[in-house]
Amino acid sequence: MFALVVRFDLIDAEKAIAFDKLVAETVAAIRESEPGTLVYATHVVEDEPLARVFYEVYADQAAHRTHEQQPHTRRFLDERHLYTAGVRVEFLTPSAEKGLPA
């Protein structure tokens, strides 16, 4: 299993709307075409309307590499800078959990 968390800090409310549209399009394509992407959950941070957090779980590193190469992911990665003031990526090592594949 391979997991990460990404935080996006958005520029302003207008950019947040456009970012959320891009995310919705990206997630729809992930849902349809990426069996190795086990969890791809996007969240708005409570009391921080310009912050988004993604939680991503992949079957393994190969599934993550496949995800990164998909046209919809490439588009997201190429366009996200138009909407973001900052991005933070944290790679995770699972310890105690419920609901994740063994």
Q: How many CB atoms lie within 10 A of CB 37?
A: 20
Q: How far apart are CA 56 and CA 6, in angstroms?
A: 8
- 18: which DSSP letter? H
pLDDT, residue 101, reads 74
pLDDT, residue 69, reads 98
Where do the domains of the chain lie?
Answer: 2-92
Mean pLDDT of 75-86: 98
pLDDT, residue 19, reads 98
Kindly report the average pLDDT of the chain as a whole number. Answer: 96
- Within the chain, how many helices (H) and strands (E) appear? 3, 4
CB 76 within 8 A of CB 61: no
pLDDT tens string 18-63? 999 999 999 999 999 999 999 999 999 999 999 999 999 999 999 9
Architecture of domain 2-92: 2-Layer Sandwich (3.30)
**Percentage of the chain exceeding pLDDT 70:** 99
pLDDT, residue 57, reads 96
